[in-house]
Amino acid sequence: MTAKGFDIAIIGGGVIGLTLARALCDRGAKLAVFDAGADVPQATRAAAGMLAPSFEYGEEFGGPAEAVYHLGARSLAMWADYAAALEQETGVFVDYRSDGALGLSYRDEQTAALAEQAAQVKRLGGDVEMISGDEARELEPALSADIAAALHAPKDTQVDPRRVMAALKVSLNRRGVEIIQGRVLSLGDGETIRQFVTAEGDIYEANRKVLATGAVGGLTSRGLVYPVKGEATAIASESVITRVLRAPGAYLCPKAEGRLVIGATEEIGPFDHHSVSPAAVAGLRANAARAVPALGMAAELERWAGLRPGTPDGAPIMGQDKNGRYLALGHYRNGVLHAPAAAEAMAALILGETPAFDLAPFSISRFSSGRDG
């Protein structure tokens, strides 16, 4: 049997794989995406879609946090145009919002922590400010009287990841990119080994292979990319709040059609993305209602869990491994945020161009044992 061949094969059709496919297509590359579908969980489906470089850039892990911050800020700056272009091309609404975000505190220690975070983000060039509880309530009148202060990040914002994925699929379809349903079981090592096999037993060939496999999938992990489970819920809430709120113990993201996402727990390790603990959802709801009491009785629409692709230092892995495979992995809590900038940089790298920013901080070689390559 002759194997079907492509110049570039992207393994993994989450937000990182599909935005990369689109960026490669824009540069004239010939490629296909392989995605395991329901067989392997996808973090993107579970994401809240916050575009939030001011809040989560992995500063607590001792990794290249500044580089992660700048990747997030660069990508945030691209998102407005990216979302508009995607909508215009596909007619699919992606619910990009530019309302900003508020990090909330009730107590002095929480205010001090937010002030320290604001100072750090400002040092990195971000546009954030500390405001009083009253000023926060002027922006969001439904906030509890107990809110003492807030970190206002006017440029942090959000999209709806499920809508973005729907739009990306339409975009790729129009560009003639095949998204092949199939779990890739094994990859040849070395640039000369072109063949790979799916669970269905189909054999394919590609000159260049890109791993964008998220948290699980069996091809890459060897301990470097691991799942960090997150549980979340959505409730019915029409126009109670307008911007993303990050309260102690829960974030709140208002979406289109009266849907409000409340997330998320964090638990390292379990490969289980099916079970959602009632206690976790109750905790998220209680923390959300403490910040915005009007949400206390809102009806639940949905609850779910997903597996973030974590790495030991909280930073993504982008570049090439020693076997010549391209890696687009480990975007942890920020894959939706990072996607447009990461896609441009990886597309440039794969096609032998110079990426718009230095990928060295994200190289797999930073892990001294080099376990994955």
User: Contact residues for ligand FAD (CB under 6 A)?
Assistant: 11-17, 34-36, 40, 42-44, 46-50, 183-184, 212-215, 217-219, 230, 232, 263-264, 306, 308-309, 331-337
Tell me the CB-side half-sphere exposure of residue 358, using CA atoms within 13 A: 6
Distance, in Å, from the CA atom of 207 to the CA atom of 222, rounded to the nearest integer, reads: 24
Shortest Cβ 245–ligand FAD spacing (Å): 13
DSSP character at residue 167: H
Contacts of 356 (CB under 8 A, 6+ apart): 74, 341, 344, 345, 348
Tell me the CB-side half-sphere exposure of residue 196, using CA atoms within 13 A: 28
118 or 234: CB nearest ligand FAD: 234
Shortest Cβ 241–ligand FAD spacing (Å): 16
Contacts of 33 (CB under 8 A, 6+ apart): 9, 10, 12, 13, 17, 18, 21, 172, 177, 178, 179, 180
133 or 210: CB nearest ligand FAD: 210
Give the count of beta carbons closer than 10 Å to the beta carbon of residue 278: 9
23 or 111: CB nearest ligand FAD: 23
Distance, in Å, from the CA atom of 261 to the CA atom of 280, rounded to the nearest integer, reads: 14
Q: Which residue has the tokens 């619910």?
A: 95
DSSP character at residue 116: H
Q: Identify whether the C-beta of residue 79 lies closer than 8 Å to the C-beta of residue 51.
A: yes
Beta strands in 42-107 (DSSP E): 50-51, 101-105
Q: Which residue has the tokens 């975007």?
A: 331
Three-state SS at 48: coil
Shortest Cβ 163–ligand FAD spacing (Å): 14
17 or 361: CB nearest ligand FAD: 17
Shortest Cβ 138–ligand FAD spacing (Å): 25
Shortest Cβ 216–ligand FAD spacing (Å): 6
Shortest Cβ 16–ligand FAD spacing (Å): 3
Q: Identify whether the C-beta of residue 310 lies closer than 8 Å to the C-beta of residue 330.
A: yes
Shortest Cβ 191–ligand FAD spacing (Å): 20
76 or 139: CB nearest ligand FAD: 76
Shortest Cβ 105–ligand FAD spacing (Å): 20
44 or 111: CB nearest ligand FAD: 44
133 or 182: CB nearest ligand FAD: 182
* CA-based end-to-end distance of the chain: 31
Tokens of 291: 């910040």
240 or 328: CB nearest ligand FAD: 328
Nearest to 343 by CA among 4, 24, 123: 24
21 or 111: CB nearest ligand FAD: 21
Report the run of H or E that residue 344 belongs to, with start and end.
helix 335-350
Shortest Cβ 183–ligand FAD spacing (Å): 4
Distance, in Å, from the CA atom of 11 to the CA atom of 209, rounded to the nearest integer, reads: 7
